[in-house]
Structure 1
């Protein structure tokens, strides 16, 4: 009876949606229930997911499901506990990372890509609607901030809005992921047209209302990437490789050019103060990195303001933060050059695989992992969102789905052809 319940597709669908919703609601859960509530919810989800996998072990395709680059990265995070300057925080940080990794693997394993997109879309609609409702309550009806959720009540001034995600940058990031998801839903016709229109308008309103220069800049890059993917999908197969190379050259030239005119770009998008603030943090991190360049200080994930050296960095510019505000610098600081090399290889492989699927597969659903990875990676140059919680969960889900379709280990799943031996006569 228990095996039938935990092994049913309906239970897997509900658990996957709940896991995605819980990951996206970490700020809300911590603000209302504290860390104890969040740990209790995540522990219950992990337990249910483990039992569900055992119950469905014969029905799932396990070949190539776990990318080796992911195993190596998580393994290196765990190894850094040995020389960490803050071992208790490193141990809890690794466990926290493994928790979201396991939940992401569960979702990727038991749900198809279209089912994942639908689950993400359903969760996003609820959370963004709740964010808008609370902003209306705080900014128009009560005209007071909701302090415990960090909602400032600026709706009457046109923003910036924070929603239930703690900051305008995180609201903009979530709204952008939601917008990509809703547009893919619309093109696959997986939701009613009216609901699709409402969802897209909701995501656009909150993205603009966040007034996050980071998210608005990333939105422009994602738009260009989406146009490039659509162009490659419509190109003849024999021309696709040449177009890929041409686009790569344009990308390199554009990136180098943007670096030399970065000051002007920052002034145009109104992000100069944000960049100056981050530059101050990166300069301080740079001096600390010099002490442990090769192996890093030790993995911790979210910064701990009560341990050294994080308490000295916690209020740079009189603003509290829990990361280095750049995933690559954060990895360099915590995991050293070795960890950074593993991380760059891992995200590069995931992006290449997802890009190949997006440009070669017939269904438009394969655009979702590629575009989500672009949102994550570009945003992570200004926020370390890809390293922890829902950012890490989305990254692992996209990575696993791309690896499962293109992994060399898929060949191991093929059964060797059977050869019938001639029967002996007589």
Structure 2
């Protein structure tokens, strides 16, 4: 490769246009990984993600002068991944556990790359574009399967039940994952509308598209997620509208309200479940969690080793499914999955990762005028609430979004900001507010 070609490639990798294309490619590949795997095989899906990871590492190297090393990865993310890697040594299948960790680390690399080469508005715009396409394709395939051809597309997991008002799965494999993706899409579409970053007609189409997908998924978690995000939006609006000198009191008051709400919600869980019509779904989870806790007591501190999605033939997953006569692929809760696989140490580290990200992003959104900063905390609320009922946050799209949110939140209100400013000085670019990139 001569110097001219090398220079052109270097310029391309450093360009804003390539950064946007890369971000769209990552979102499209990770969110459609189920469909890619069903259509082209698991090797193809893994190869695509691996290639994007290599490209991301190269892009970070090319942009190394504008990226502060201390801000590259949140320390909570590093510690959590380090503990997951250490757990490989006591796993029942070290090889499988190691490659499961590589998968999580690889997707984390994609999230770290996006968090550094795109600002918040650019990230949500790319996600919004991908969500519009994937949800449109999902609904089109459901109509084709359930109405025009009246036959299920079993190779994609589409049951063709749209004529009966659902549940539908789209290209995501399960109704719960479609419901989760639809809620994430609606948060993104509404922030797009508030920031006027897309035409009003496109915003209206997007919101209707996301709402239809969420309703037709018939997922019991959609209602809970919608209520949680709506409550968080209202609370954030109150805090943003408060006077600066009273904002701290509002924050503490909201924190106390959330704590009381969690206690009341737990105490009234049975009436709430009945009202949501999710009794059978919750009873399945309750039985699973009760059985799972018996195995947690065997290895309470460090767990059984990191696997992410359950390895069907490994202990204790195979034993749990055998006792329950089920074929669960997860604990149906990210928190219980972390507790089972990484023990109480891993669960505390996971709480630190998510908790610091939520608090930092919430404080940023409550103090800065642009509504775009509300996207990160609202997305984190959706991820954390969904983690009560599903394990999506530990792999695939959920894990990617969690890492991106953690990186964005870690850019400000952390020890890195003070340390970076002290090392670099106030006049250098990387000592400035990184939430608004130079390009």
Which residue is 2:48 aligned to?
41
Which of these residues, 256, 262, 271, is aligned with residue 263 of structure 2?
Answer: 256
Is 2:313 the partner of 1:283?
no
Residue 417 to residue 165, structure 1, CA distance change in 2 (3 Å)? closer
Give the secondary structure class of the aligned counterpart of 2:172.
coil
Give distance in 1, aligned partners of 2:263 and 2:88. Answer: 37
Is 2:278 the partner of 1:271?
yes
Is 2:359 the partner of 1:352?
yes
Q: CA RMSD in A?
A: 1.5
**Structure 1 residue runs of 4 or more that deviate by more than 4 Å after TM superposition:** 314-319
Give distance in 1, aligned partners of 2:324 and 2:161. Answer: 22
Counterparts of 1:23-42 in structure 2, within 5 Å, are: 23-42=30-49
Please list the CA deviations of residues 323-350 of structure 1 after superposition, one character each: whole Å capped at 9, or x if unmatched.
1111111111000111111111221111
Contact 1:65/1:403 (<8 A) preserved: no
Normalised by the size of structure 1, how large is the TM-score?
0.95
Contact 1:60/1:110 (<8 A) preserved: no
Please list the CA deviations of residues 223-262 of structure 1 after superposition, one character each: whole Å capped at 9, or x if unmatched.
0110110111111111111112222222222221111111
Which has the larger displacement, 112-121 or 298-307? 298-307
Which has the larger displacement, 399-408 or 126-135? 399-408
Which residue is 1:421 aligned to?
none
Which residue is 2:246 aligned to?
239
Which residue is 2:157 aligned to?
150
Counterparts of 1:103-182 in structure 2, within 5 Å, are: 103-182=110-189
Which residue is 1:98 aligned to?
105
Normalised by the size of structure 2, how large is the TM-score?
0.92
Which residue is 1:381 aligned to?
388
Which residue is 1:21 aligned to?
28
Which residue is 1:85 aligned to?
92
Give distance in 2, aligned partners of 1:320 and 1:92. Answer: 22
Which of these residues, 402, 405, 415, is aligned with residue 398 of structure 1?
Answer: 405
Counterparts of 1:292-331 in structure 2, within 5 Å, are: 292-314=299-321, 320-331=327-338
Which residue is 1:230 aligned to?
237
Contact 1:139/1:153 (<8 A) preserved: yes
Contact 1:64/1:408 (<8 A) preserved: no
Cα distance, 1:56 vs structure 2: 2.0
Contact 2:364/2:373 (<8 A) preserved: yes
